[in-house]
Structure 1
Amino acid sequence: MRIKVPRQPSGRLTDAWRVCVGTGRFELALRRDYQDSLALIQREIGFRHIRGHGLLSDGVGIYRPYQHGGERRVHHSFTYVDQVIDAYLDLGVKPFVELGFMPAELASGDQTIFWWGGNVTPPRSWPEWADLVRATLAHLVDRYGLDEVRGWPIEVWNEPNLKEFWAGADQDAYHRLYELTAHTVKEVDAGLQVGGPALAPSAGDWLIRFADFVTARSVPVDFVSQHAYTSGPAQHVPFGTHQRLAPASRLLEQFAGPGRQLHDTPLAGLPVHITEFNSSYRPDNPVHDTAFHAAYLAPVLATGGDLVDSFSYWTFSDMFEEVGVPAALLHGGFGLLTHCQIKKPTYHLYAFMARMGSLVLSRGLDHLVTRDESGRVTVLAWAPVDVSGLDLSPVGHTIRLSIPLGAPQGTAFALRSSVSEEAGNAWAAWSEMGRPRSPDRRQLDVLREVAEPVRRHQSLPIAAGRIDLDLVLDRHEVTLVEIDPVADETPPWWDDNRLLGLGEDQEAAG
């Protein structure tokens, strides 16, 4: 059956998918490969904010207690903070500030998370915690300007409903942290945006209890935040993890959760930010590197903005060390890019979205059709995926569209870019190479080349202001078709038959 795409848009495509992207811990941004990767991401996709852990952890070096004159004092140092945020702003991306984790000498305990040791215990001195927050935000305002920093959301902690991220998953202790922090933020400036609680999925009634607490005590809250993942229990192998996945629709259900839970509370209507989302919550699950992953997430990017104000892919780069330094180039990292800027299929899903128009003409289970203000039409299409692991995903999935164009007749130029199991798939090529842990320069060049989408083009006739577009998708394919009416400027003397000079010789011989 051919789907007749309406001429009039049904609405606008939100850019909630590009409002924010995740990153490894804060100080990784000092590295060259990190900044090269972020520069590439910003050129071809262009995220507005970036969020990661560890701003207040010891590796950034803000909290610096010392002894002088027989007294204990605290110095706040922003040497690394300035370098990182300067680099972000130079690359056109702003911080989504996460306040955490606890500096070791301010912490009330020694519980840490991750290979790099983020402390997850409450402060032993609540006034010193408030001073740390106040000094950090006041410095940012002083350096970057109040109007600028008012546009940076400030999130209090990360996943406090998990005992691994907040000692004992003690909600009362988190409420105390949030209350003190939120008031301190507003002391710096009432216009700064503060929110939380940055909950991990399956949080039970945490969000309702948070809403009750901030309402009862008149605690400032400008947005709410939560995370979304669809993977099951980890099946560990050396330097890797395998997991079953729920259907991608489960991500959309999780996106809708905060709004549904807060519907009858005073927090109803607040912006909702999904400050982390992905399939697997593990940074060593090879599914992240595959063509399957791009097709799996395509419907989420196409529709997620109808449910939340932002949903932040976790993360933009494989420069990420929560479970240690990666043991191979393609190791199942969260990133859209590997180290050395090898693009994964999911990278191209985002790059395709960045080339879509803002006016939605059609949206279905396997496609999204948009138009921009110039009249250019874009079609994003994806093959359905099967999460059972039994390789039941169809090959040759077909989508037939009748698409309106501005011109009543003539021709249209269609450019198609595709990634699949066979195309734009560095993971498949790397596997065929024998999975080299440290590819040499020639192998890296090859991987960069094969990671690019396959591109095809064709001329399509326009009849009664429409074209027919037939797409046959390979297994796990995601494809983008960009369609423009042709303004033909071929000169009247042009003859393709004379390309090799045959026409003139034939005339002379005659």
Structure 2
Amino acid sequence: MTVVVPAEPVGVLTGAWRECVGTGRMNLSLRHDHREALARVQREIGFRSVRGHGMLSDDMGVHRPYERDGRHVRHVTTYLDQVVDGYLEHGIRPFLELGFMPSGLASGDQTVFWWRGNVTPPSSYTEWADLVRGTLRHLVDRYGLEEVRRWPVEVWNEPNLVHFWEHADQAEYLRLYEVTAHAVKDVDASLQVGGPALSPGADEWWEPFAAFVTERDVPVDFVSRHAYSSGPAQHVPFGTYQDLRPPQELLDQFGAPRRHLAGTALADLPVHITEFNTSYRPDNPVHDTAYNAAYLAPVLAGGGDLADSFSYWTFSDVFEEEGVPAAFLHGGFGLLTHRGVPKPTYHLYAFLARLGEQVLARGEDHLVTRHADGRLAVLAWQPVDGAARGDERRTLRLDLPVGDVARISTHRRRVSEDDGNVWTAWCHLGRPASPSARQLDLLHEASVPAVEHGSHATADGRVRLDVPLSRHEVTLVEVDPVRDETPDWLDDTRIPGYR
């Protein structure tokens, strides 16, 4: 069947897909390889904000108690300033997540991750509020109120899970949220504060959260949750396998806050999906594959209709929640590997960055857009359902409106099982845990998308294009009008080999 694409737009491609990206924990941004990865991501994709854990954890050194005629606390921002300075230098703003608990303020010793973020409530809510106010006032003094007003402030991370909040105590989280939200507004009423940063499967928290903040007049400027679509974990040494539910599951999760908050005072607030991916595990090989890119293509194409932002977790494999990665490709969340090699999902994002804002058509395997200057850009993908292999071959047939030109040129970039796929190349090399310099060069070369060029005659302002899609392929086709400037004395048949 041929998709006949209308000449008039049917919608707008919002920037929700690039509004935010994840970074693991903030301390990682002090590392050279992490900052190099961010620089490349910003050059080729251009995210607008970045969110990570651990802003107040011990490895950032913000909360520093000391004794001098009694207990005192100094707020030290040496590392925080370096991290934020680095973000702004790369054209990206922080999306501040307030957590985890500094050990000098913690009420217990429960921690999460290899780097031991403390997940217990504060021993003193007064001191916690002072920490929040002091940190934000410093940021306002250093970067200016107008700038910091653009940085959302999220209260904690996944408090519905016992791993991230002691006993997953809802009442205690609501207390934390209330104290924190008021502390944020004490700095300036225009600062954005929100939560509750729920994990999937915790939608029963929405009603009590909405009721609590409404009844007690607690500030809330946005709501946030996370989205993952993986099933039960099957653990192996240094790895995890999981089936995935269909991509629509992620879109359903994106839409969950508005469904559950309909009819409440929070119904019209912005919705931020502050983490999403296929698997929630940082050691699941699916993240390294072309399948991951094909799976997420319809999610990125349609997510902006359901949420104001959805933040891919994460942009780099420089990430240590389960410890130092044991192999070059280890199933990490990153768009880029260690040493900055792009994975197929990286290219999906880079392709989206080249699309136009006007949406002309959208389907199960395509998104057709137009730029303001009239150029067309088509994102197409081989559909997958979350578990099965996917079709070996599929052809997308398009009838495109191109305007009053006799010919168009096409420029196509392609990622699949065999093209632009670092994971396939790494497997062929024997899956080296620590690739040599030569192997790294080969992997960088293999990670580049395949490129094709072509030209086509038009008829009545339209052109037909066939876009064959191989297994797990994601492709970008850019369509440009041809203004033929060939001089009449040129004759290619006179070139040897072209007769």
TM over 0.5, shorter chain: yes
Structure 1 position 500, deviation (Å): 4.0
Question: For residue 112 of structure 1, what is the aligned residue in structure 2?
Answer: 111
Task: Check whether the contact 2:275–2:313 (CA below 8 A) recurs between aligned residues.
Answer: yes
Separation in 1, partners of 2:497, 2:328: 52
- Work out the number of aligned pairs and report it: 499
Separation in 2, partners of 1:501, 1:372: 39
Secondary structure of 1:59's aligned partner: helix
- TM-score, normalization by structure 2: 0.99
Computing the radius of gyration over CA atoms, which structure comes out larger, 1 or 2?
Answer: 1
Question: For residue 43 of structure 2, what is the aligned residue in structure 1?
Answer: 43
Task: Check whether the contact 2:20–2:47 (CA below 8 A) recurs between aligned residues.
Answer: yes
- TM-score, normalization by structure 1: 0.97
Question: For residue 507 of structure 1, what is the aligned residue in structure 2?
Answer: none
Structure 1 position 3, deviation (Å): 1.2
Question: For residue 351 of structure 2, what is the aligned residue in structure 1?
Answer: 352
Deviations 1:283-331 (A, max 9, x none): 0000000000000000000000000100000000001100000001100
Question: For residue 224 of structure 1, what is the aligned residue in structure 2?
Answer: 223
Q: CA distance change for structure 1 residues 72 and 422 in 2, over 3 Å: closer, same or farther? A: same
* Pairing 1:149-298 to 2, within 5 Å after superposition: 149-298=148-297
Deviations 1:187-245 (A, max 9, x none): 00000000000000110310111000000000000000000000112111000000111
Aligned: 1:399 with 2:396: yes
* Pairing 1:22-41 to 2, within 5 Å after superposition: 22-41=22-41
Deviations 1:397-416 (A, max 9, x none): 11100000122x41111001
Structure 1 position 442, deviation (Å): 0.9
The correspondence for 1:477, drawn from 464, 469, 473, is 473
* Pairing 1:351-500 to 2, within 5 Å after superposition: 351-389=350-388, 391=389, 393-407=390-404, 409-500=405-496
Task: Check whether the contact 2:203–2:260 (CA below 8 A) recurs between aligned residues.
Answer: no
Separation in 2, partners of 1:480, 1:500: 34
Question: For residue 66 of structure 1, what is the aligned residue in structure 2?
Answer: 66
Separation in 1, partners of 2:117, 2:213: 27
Deviations 1:76-114 (A, max 9, x none): 100001111001000000000000000011000000000
Question: For residue 20 of structure 1, what is the aligned residue in structure 2?
Answer: 20
Deviations 1:442-491 (A, max 9, x none): 11111011101000010111111111010111000000000000111111
Amino acid corresponding to residue 71 of structure 2 in structure 1: R
Secondary structure of 2:490's aligned partner: coil
Unaligned 5+ segments in structure 2 are none
Q: CA distance change for structure 1 residues 449 and 501 in 2, over 3 Å: closer, same or farther? A: closer
Amino acid corresponding to residue 252 of structure 2 in structure 1: E
Separation in 1, partners of 2:13, 2:476: 16
CA RMSD of aligned residues (A): 1.1
* Pairing 1:70-85 to 2, within 5 Å after superposition: 70-85=69-84
Structure 1 position 334, deviation (Å): 0.2
Task: Check whether the contact 2:6–2:401 (CA below 8 A) recurs between aligned residues.
Answer: yes
Question: For residue 328 of structure 2, what is the aligned residue in structure 1?
Answer: 329
Task: Check whether the contact 2:272–2:309 (CA below 8 A) recurs between aligned residues.
Answer: yes
Separation in 1, partners of 2:463, 2:444: 34
Separation in 2, partners of 1:165, 1:131: 22
Amino acid corresponding to residue 394 of structure 1 in structure 2: D
Structure 1 position 12, deviation (Å): 1.0
